[in-house]
């Protein structure tokens, strides 16, 4: 069987961690990044025990800085012969209304939530070919406004627009693009909310739908996936 290579950003916790773990379990080699080097060392050690045959490239990268995106992409290009799956998951969230949020909040989140995905995708496209698949982790915040969505929701709307334009351009080349729009999904950021874990989806739910979309025939592109907790948005 031909070796397969995946790149996942923001891979040490939450949805990104679940996706990276699933791809490793399916036999992929993995290139990943996150902001905290100690977290990367810890999860890489666990992953290497899980998948001892996998090549795992785990590098610190803060996508708020464009040079970090370029440094990470350069390492991928030098280490991997191609990219079969790219998961643009890295993101930051700060709540607030447009009228009241601090100056610069939109710019900071745009750099990570949109420009990071935009720049990394452009840098890695030369390693992609027919059959490759790009997943952009959008949000239900990409679909409608909600209280205190502010700048965050703007960035997620933009990421969904990026996904649609990218799909239009790459479809004729056989490269699929899927926007995943999850609602509230359990992670350590929700652990202090006071809400029961039963109120949330599990990160593995998102990883499972990503794998199902990738597993479709290369003649089919699942363009947009929307997931919400059974009892509705939080």
User: Can you give the CATH number for the domain in which 148 is found?
Assistant: 3.40.50.720
Residue of 1, 11, 92 whose CA lies nearest to 46? 11
Has residue 215 been placed in a domain? yes
Has residue 179 been placed in a domain? yes
Has residue 182 been placed in a domain? yes
Least confident of 77-81, 142-146, 163-167, 184-188: 184-188
Q: Give the contacts of 85 (CB within 8 A, at least 6 positions apart).
A: 4, 5, 6, 7, 23, 28, 132, 133, 134, 135, 214
Q: Which two tokens stand for residue 56?
A: 């795992």
Has residue 234 been placed in a domain? no
Length reported for the chain: 234
Q: Do residues 127 and 83 lie in contact, with contact meaning Cβ atoms separated by under 8 Å?
A: yes
Tens of pLDDT, residue by residue over 19-69, are 999 999 999 999 999 999 999 999 999 999 999 999 999 999 999 999 999
Q: Is the pLDDT of residue 186 over 90?
A: no
Cα torsion through 60, 212, 18, 16, rounded to 10: 30
Q: Do residues 203 and 18 lie in contact, with contact meaning Cβ atoms separated by under 8 Å?
A: yes
Q: Is the pLDDT of residue 78 over 80?
A: yes
Q: What is the pLDDT of residue 189?
A: 72
Has residue 233 been placed in a domain? no
- Average pLDDT along the chain: 96
Has residue 74 been placed in a domain? yes
Q: Is the pLDDT of residue 141 over 90?
A: yes
Dump the DSSP string for 119-136.
HHHHHHGGG--TT-EEEE
Has residue 232 been placed in a domain? no
Q: What residue has token string 């899927």?
A: 178
Has residue 56 been placed in a domain? yes
Number of domains in the chain: 1
Q: Is the pLDDT of residue 1 over 90?
A: no
Domain extent at residue 159: 4-227
Q: Which two tokens stand for residue 189?
A: 């950021």
32: left (phi over 0), alpha (psi -120 to 50) or beta: beta
157 is catalytic: no
Q: What is the pLDDT of residue 202?
A: 94
- Encode burial over 98-108: b for 16+ CB neighbours within 10 A, e otherwise: eeebeeebbee
Least confident of 62-71, 75-84, 111-120, 180-189: 180-189
Instruction: Output DSSP code: residue 58.
Output: E
Confidence class for position 188, pLDDT limits 50, 70, 90:
confident
Which of 5, 118, 146, 152 is catalytic? The answer is 152
Confidence class for position 8, pLDDT limits 50, 70, 90:
very high
Q: What is the pLDDT of residue 204?
A: 96
Residue of 165, 157, 89, 77 whose CA lies nearest to 124? 77
Q: How many CB atoms lie within 10 A of CB 57?
A: 18
Tens of pLDDT, residue by residue over 196-226, are 888 899 999 999 999 999 999 999 999 999 9
């Amino acid at each position: 069987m031909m070796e397969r290579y995946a790149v996942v950003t923001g891979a040490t916790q939450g949805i990104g961690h679940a996706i990276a773990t699933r791809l490793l379990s399916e036999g992929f080699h993995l290139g990943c990044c996150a902001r905290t080097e100690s977290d990367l060392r810890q999860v890489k050690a666990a992953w290497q025990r899980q998948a001892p045959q996998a090549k795992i490239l785990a590098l610190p990268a803060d996508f708020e800085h464009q040079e970090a995106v370029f440094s990470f992409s350069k390492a991928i290009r030098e280490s991997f012969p191609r990219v079969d799956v790219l998961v643009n998951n890295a993101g930051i969230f700060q709540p607030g209304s447009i009228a009241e949020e601090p100056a610069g909040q939109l710019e900071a989140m745009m750099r990570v939530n949109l420009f990071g995905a935009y720049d990394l995708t452009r840098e890695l496209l030369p390693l992609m070919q027919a059959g490759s698949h790009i997943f952009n982790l959008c949000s239900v915040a990409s679909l409608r406004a909600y209280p205190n969505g502010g700048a965050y929701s703007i960035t997620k709307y933009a990421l969904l627009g990026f996904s649609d334009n990218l799909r239009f351009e790459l479809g004729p080349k056989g490269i699929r693009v899927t926007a995943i729009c999850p609602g509230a999904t359990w992670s350590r950021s929700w652990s202090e909310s006071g809400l029961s874990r039963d109120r949330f989806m599990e990160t593995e739910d998102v990883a499972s739908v990503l794998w199902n979309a990738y597993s479709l025939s290369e003649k089919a592109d699942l363009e947009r996936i929307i997931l919400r907790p059974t009892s509705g948005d939080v």
